[in-house]
Amino acid sequence: MTRMADLFGAPALPGLASVGDFVTTVEEQALIAAIDAADLSAFRFQGWTGKRLTISYGWAYDFDQGRLRRGDPVPDWLLPFRDRAAQFARLPATDFVQALLIRYDPGAGIGWHKDRPVFEHVVGVSLGAPATMRFRRRRGDRFERVTMPLAPRGAYHLSGAARHEWEHSIAAMDRTRWSVTFRSLA
């Protein structure tokens, strides 16, 4: 496990951890196929339709209604990856009650945001094209910024300050990327 750090070993962003090769190449291809086979739909946010395609299991946040709702159970094929995500985050697997599958086709990204406050720990698995996750937080009249590469087959964990004090985003890309995100409830 690698924690993002500065030159002197202090965390660049407390609460941000990453690991490479979280899944194997074979597992990555199986996950991509499973995501593509899922009943994905365009992300919706307060009447706006995004370019990324998503499906949630366990719990889902309805951005049009502004509330959390129960969804279909997390499929059995995702449970070994949920368990691995929980081990990475040093939490019980049963804490991760939501799984979000996303396909970012060329031109899709995700704007600046914080995950909804109903969620606590966030573990993401990056598949397909490499990406850069950007972080920012306001400091007076400017933003403090940190970036973290998201390598294919790697994972990241957001908790503490990284989860609650910083916004994050991923710029639109020119190649397809997939992700699996596991979240616990607050």
CATH number of the CATH domain containing 75: 2.60.120.590
In a domain, 121, yes or no: yes
Residue 130, amino acid = P
pLDDT at 117 (0 to 100): 83
In a domain, 166, yes or no: yes
pLDDT higher than threshold 70 for residue 155: yes
In a domain, 3, yes or no: no
pTM (2 d.p.): 0.88
pLDDT higher than threshold 90 for residue 103: yes
- The per-type count for the chain, helices as H runs and strands as E runs, is 3, 14
pLDDT higher than threshold 90 for residue 179: yes
In a domain, 44, yes or no: yes
pLDDT at 100 (0 to 100): 95
In a domain, 151, yes or no: yes
pLDDT at 118 (0 to 100): 84
pLDDT higher than threshold 80 for residue 158: yes
Q: 169: domain range?
A: 14-185
Lowest mean pLDDT segment, chosen from 111-115, 167-171, 179-183: 111-115
In a domain, 37, yes or no: yes
Name the token pair of 113: 């945001």
- Residue range 44-49: mean pLDDT, rounded: 60
Residues 6+ apart with CB under 8 A from 80: none
Q: Report the domain count for the chain.
A: 1
Rounded distance between C-alpha atoms, residue 3 and residue 141, angstroms: 28
In a domain, 1, yes or no: no
In a domain, 48, yes or no: yes
The conformation of residue 76, written as its DSSP 8-state character, comes to: G
Residue 6, amino acid = D
